Structure 1
Amino acid sequence: MEISELKTLISLVETGSVTATARELNRVPSAITSRIQQLEDHLGIPLFYREKKRLIVTSKALELYEYACQIVKLVNTAELNIKTNCPGGKFRIGALESIAATRLPLPLTKLYEGVPNIELELITGIRDTLYNALINGQHDAILIGDAPFDEKLERVTAFEEELIIIASKNHTEIKKPHDIKSSNILVFREGCSYRDRLLNWYHSFNSYPKRVTEVTSYHAILGSVAAGMGIGIVPKIMFDQFSNKHLLSKHAIEGPLGQIKIELIWKKGWLSANIIALQSILAYQKYPKIE
């Protein structure tokens, strides 16, 4: 079925007249009759009964009319969005789990309020997974830290995170690896920027953890550390929002390893209206460095 045929059907149902439809669509009456006949031939059913010069709408025509209205409206919306580059439609965002849980709820709510017809897809993962997905065209934009430099990408800083080491409740102060009682660290799999930073912190003291346990969520890290299974690294905001933080102790990471910039990143030349809209909201929020 062609869009022109559906528009003709819509007009015929609404006007009930070939002449009125021809006038509305700026066509000759014979062209209107021809389009409807082609549509009927394609479907294999009559859409209108002819009684002298009158057209009587069938139940199937009314059913198709409802679909046609939706289809034409969708096509018109798509054309408008593409031509005017207005935000809307599908928007695929990749983000670190910690960012999705703590930083994005408010901005995405604002985005929905400002762009009601947007269709958000939020996918969480670790840095390397999200980065590769962006390169492969699976995401429109990502929010990660410590992204490798790539001239094919564009980026802006969204906000800064303070990273901290967490340990069990009564753990003594941690300033260097020698102060840690447990030989186990709880981290995400390789490719996680926070894991890299914790291991680099160990390396800065010419040390290395005896055991690395990989987990799949920050709730697992927080809960396992609270149970005394080892130490971990998390953004301070996640610790602050953890309901059982009274079971943990927090320890600052001195120097640049304890501060990480989270960037909004997209492919060069692919700056869409959706990315601009999200970028403006993030800038408006003015996320400060967490103290």
Structure 2
Amino acid sequence: MDSSLLKIFVAVSKHQSISLAAQELYFTQSNVTLRIKQLEKKLGYPLFHRVPKGVILTYEGEKLYPYALDIVTKVEETILKMKNISEQTLLRIGTSQANAIIRLLPFIEKLSVDFPTTQIELFANGTPQVIDALLEYKVDIAFVTGDPKHKDIVVLNEFSDDLYMVESKHKVSKNCIIGYREKSTHLNFFKQYWEALGNTEYTTIILENYEVMLGCVKAGMGRAFLSKIIVDKYHYTDDLILTKLQPNECNLETHLVCRKDSVPFIGDYLKQMQLH
């Protein structure tokens, strides 16, 4: 069976949408529809029901999905390993947004010097989404906040982020937590920390821009939990009170991780890399 047909089937199943699958695969909607029909003809079963908001799997489609996902994953993993069999020709890097600012550029600069022929692809999102991408073989390595402690993931390296609770130096801060992203490891930790202190009446503001976040903190609109590197980068150090949590209160260092069954060719190099 053509694995490319299964890849399209998996994409449509995941998104429950022909159009979103087409966007992910860089195909036209008509091409995706045609390929799904080809797969249905080969198997002799309809695989999707059309619903007002897209498509859902038929009974036969649900039976096929785990097998198709397994085949597509193994094919893509094999192709990547064969490309990198003698050298790291491609490295797909996943990173949380904070790490994209703190250490991604120095990391890429080191790679470009030591492995000038390696092609680099980037995926930036919140830590939970980056971990999902790693587990789905969509990235090879990932900078994530905290140790995922997942049976399929191994830690290659660890870096300190020098994290602080920040609040306005000149105004009384409102009982509000300001976060970068709704599904954020830093935000979830800060909420849990705040609630453990008995503060459950706080509100939350999400602002996907660190400079705007820091401006709001300075204005007394709330508190945030950030790396000092980010505070310094946007020149807010003199306008904020920075409170360092005790080591036993916070263990959110950055970890460079990969799948146990898919350690990059340059894995030993990554273990020795030093970044601030």
Q: What's the TM-score, normalizing by structure 1?
A: 0.61
CA, structure 1 residues 114+206, in 2 after alignment: closer, same or farther (shift >3 Å)?
Answer: same
Structure 2 residues not aligned, in runs of 5+ = 1-79
Q: Give 1:234 shift.
A: 0.3
Instruction: Give CA deviations for 1:52-92 in whole Å, capped at 9, x if unaligned.
Output: xxxxxxxxxxxxxxxxxxxxxxxxxx9996442x22x2211
Task: Report percent identity of matched pairs.
Answer: 19
**Equivalent of residue 261 in structure 1, options 245, 253, 260:** 253
C-alpha distance after superposition, 1:143-178 (max 9, x if no partner): 11234322111113421222211111225xxxxxxx
Which of 206, 209, 214 does residue 214 from structure 1 map onto? 206
Q: Does 1:233 align with 2:232?
A: no
SS in 2 for 1:170: coil
TM-score, normalised relative to structure 2: 0.64
Instruction: Please give the secondary structure, in 1, of the residue aligned with 2:249.
Output: helix
Distance 1:114 1:148, change over 3 A: closer
Structure 1 position 137, deviation (Å) = 1.6
Could you tell which deviates more after superposition, 251-260 or 157-166? 251-260
Cα offset, 1:181, TM superposition? 3.6
The 3-state SS of whatever aligns with 2:262 is coil
Matched, 1:114 2:106: no
The alignment's C-alpha RMSD in Å is 2.5
Paired position in structure 1 for 2:92: 92
SS where residue 93 of structure 1 aligns? strand
CA distance in 2, matches of 1:100, 1:215: 16
Q: Which residue is equivalent to 1:272?
A: 264
The reply to whether residue 188 of structure 1 matches residue 180 of structure 2 is yes
Note the alpha carbon deviations across 1:16-40, whole angstroms, 9 max, x for none: xxxxxxxxxxxxxxxxxxxxxxxxx
Question: 1:142-181 to 2 correspondence within 5 Å?
Answer: 142-171=142-171, 181=173
- On the 8 A contact 2:173/2:223 being kept in 1, the answer is no
Alignment of 1:126-137 (within 5 A): 126-137=126-137
261-270 or 149-158, larger mean C-alpha shift: 149-158
Give, in angstroms, the shift of residue 129 of structure 1: 0.9
Give the aligned residue type for 1:106. Answer: P
What letter matches 1:200 in structure 2?
A: Q
Residues 94 and 141 of structure 2 are in contact (CA less than 8 Å); yes or no, is this contact kept in structure 1?
A: yes
Q: CA deviation at 1:123?
A: 2.1
* Alignment length (residue pairs): 197
User: How far does residue 275 in structure 1 lie from its aligned partner after superposition?
Assistant: 4.0
Contact 2:166 2:223 in 1 (8 A): yes
> 2 CA distance for matches of 1:81 and 1:129?
26
